[in-house]
Chains A and B, each alone.
Chain A
């Protein structure tokens, strides 16, 4: 069973920020939170990951709640190319077991 819960779908307007939520209430202290996205007819690609502190990279920002039971992926200015399915997963100490849920399908409107 997936250990994360995400909304099935979200919509955004182009050039506006997007906040994609993820709940992981059973997260353990050593689990890392990873985000991937999958463009149509392609394999998923890595977006960002974090443990406790908020993280930024060229693609997105990751905001992690203080109790770590939820996190939010932030796309600062959505473009049409950001339309994809976004997956939030947990990676344990060893990081080998990688299970994905259904993800959130993001639609970006021009």
Chain B
């Protein structure tokens, strides 16, 4: 089936450790996105990528890093510099263009203790 896969669904890490969240899509979409969602809040854009080897900062990029070495993969690293990393992280993809719909993964819930 075509879609976006985020793994793992739940992730626990100790404070001070970097952690990488996986996002893979087999939809042949050009653009991929990472969002953060805190309880009861909306989605905030962390990073997005329009094409391989290129990405743009969103509204809350500090403490996060990304790479886009392959079209189908857009991993997000939550670094130790992120002051409050516990949140629900969502990945999305879209072919690009204002008339196309975006597809979202099921999310990764990260808990840092």
Residues on A lying within 8 angstroms of B by beta carbon are 2, 30-32, 34, 36, 41-46, 49, 85, 87, 91-103
The one of B43, B44, B94 in contact with A44, judged by C-beta atoms closer than 8 angstroms, is B43
Provided the pairs A43-B107, A102-B41, A103-B42 are in contact, do residues A96 and B101 lie with their beta carbons within 8 angstroms?
A: no
12 A-B residue pairs with CB within 8 Å: A42-B107, A44-B43, A44-B102, A46-B103, A91-B99, A94-B97, A98-B94, A99-B58, A100-B45, A101-B42, A102-B41, A102-B42
What total of A-B pairs shows CB separation below 8 Å? 71
A49-B102 Cα distance, complex, nearest whole Å = 11
Residues of B64-113 at the interface with A, using a CB-CB cut-off of 8 Å, are 90, 92, 94, 96-107
Asked if B59 is at the interface (CB within 8 A of a chain A CB), the reply is yes
Q: Chain B residues near A49: list those with CB within 8 A.
A: 99, 101
Residues on B lying within 8 angstroms of A by beta carbon are 4, 31, 33, 35, 41-45, 48, 50, 58-59, 90, 92, 94, 96-107
Extra 13 A-B pairs, beta carbons < 8 Å, given A94-B96, A96-B31 = A32-B98, A43-B107, A44-B90, A44-B104, A95-B97, A95-B100, A96-B48, A96-B50, A96-B96, A98-B45, A98-B94, A99-B45, A100-B35
State how many angstroms separate the Cβ of A95 from the closest Cβ of chain B.
Answer: 4
Closest A residue to B50 using CB positions: A96
A60-B104 Cα distance, complex, nearest whole Å = 19
